[in-house]
Amino acid sequence: MSSYPALRLRRTRSAGWSRRMHAETVLTPANLIWPLFVTEGDAVEEPIASLPGVSRWSVDGIVARARDAAAAGIPCLALFPNTPSDLRTEDGGEALNPDNLMCRAIRAIKDAVPEIGVLTDVALDPYTAHGHDGLVDGSGYVRNDETAEILVGQALNQARAGADVIAPSDMMDGRVGLIRAALEDEGFVNVQIMAYAAKYASAFYGPFRDAVGSRGLLKGDKKTYQMDPANAEEALREVALDLDEGADSVMVKPGLPYLDIVRRVKERFEVPVFAYQVSGEYAMIEAAAAAGAGDRDALVLETLMAFRRAGCSGVLSYHALHAARLMGA
């Protein structure tokens, strides 16, 4: 009688009840934030070709999606506007309009589905004629301090419309502190800031730029403000600064290719960390499933679980509603 092997790690995996009992990580609908694209009009649904299964919705449709999300247990939505092209200008001034598409969508959701959180993106790219996140100078460089001032106005505009979480995605230096101070000044003490702290200049954002209509407009790239994919230490410095300036939580973006960053941020700072499984990642899963390279539902749930295992409190995912419904089933 051999005692080999004394320890069999397969023992606890040998039945479903036991696998469930030994799971180190749980994934629930509460871990999901659902990004939605808003467009003008009434009863409008515009499918996005590079993001199969995702549409832009007019405000009434956005409210219906908010109801779907709440029913599926999703705690929070992230909104992005597809600004009409005649309102896109050099300085992105439409971002400051209290009646812009974004503000109308926020108000409609908070009116109809007050129990769901609304997260809003702060950056000028859906509003500028050149597709950059800020003001560009004559050489095409995005001016930091002048942009940050406008972003403060954009954030206040969103908070006044009822946004719960302000999420600056522009990567300007110093903007989190300025936004926090302005929110406090206006009495928005419980409006949170989720900083896109470590946001990389990534090739995975293509379908998103189609969705907000900025792809064809964008001149050059965003490498002078978004991070170099080669860098990790710099991500820790970005996170440290944003926390110091008053961020309540931080985001890493894109998602799966940057799970090492999620893990390092979580271990170093012990704060809520979120990740954005971005449009190109969504499109890759859809393409793989369509090509028969993998089972869609299994790919979706496995990737979301990977974010949780890496240390994420939650994930922004275009698959959120589908995934939440799978979990609820």
- Contact in structure between 313 and 272 (CB atoms under 8 Å): yes
169 makes contact with ligand PBG (CB under 6 A): yes
Integer Cα distance of 44 and 325 in angstroms: 24
Is-catalytic flag, 223? no
Minimum distance of ligand PBG from residue 128's CB (angstroms): 11
315, β-bridge pairs = 32, 275
Least gap, CB of 106 to ligand PBG (angstroms): 16
Per CB under 6 A, which of residues 24..63 are in contact with ligand PBG?
Answer: none
**Cβ atoms of 224 and 142 closer than 8 Å:** yes
Between the CA atoms of 134, 170, 51 and 158, what dihedral angle is there, to the nearest 10 degrees? -90
Site string for ligand PBG, 126-145 (x = CB under 6 A): -------x------------
Q: Select 88 or 209, whichever has its Cβ closest to ligand PBG.
A: 209
Q: Hey, CA dihedral for 65, 32, 36, 246, is it positive or negative?
A: positive
Contacting residue, 205, 225, 258, 274, with ligand PBG by CB under 6 A: 205
Closest approach, Cβ 124 to ligand PBG, in A, equals 8
CB-CB contact of 122 with 150 (8 Å): no
The yes or no reply on residue 324 touching ligand PBG (CB under 6 A) is no
Q: Is there a catalytic annotation at residue 266?
A: no
User: What is the spatial distance between Cα 62 and Cα 38, in angstroms, rounded to a whole number?
Assistant: 7
Stretch touching ligand PBG by CB under 6 A, among 61-69, 89-97, 119-127, 176-184? 119-127
Number of neighbouring beta carbons within 10 Å of residue 300: 23
Calculate ∠ Cα 228-179-317, nearest 5°. 55
**Shortest CB 308 distance to ligand PBG, Å:** 19
Interface segment toward ligand PBG; rule CB under 6 A; list 36-44, 117-125, 145-153, 259-267: 117-125
Q: Which residues bind ligand PBG (CB under 6 A)?
A: 121, 123, 125, 133, 169-170, 205, 208-209, 222, 278-279
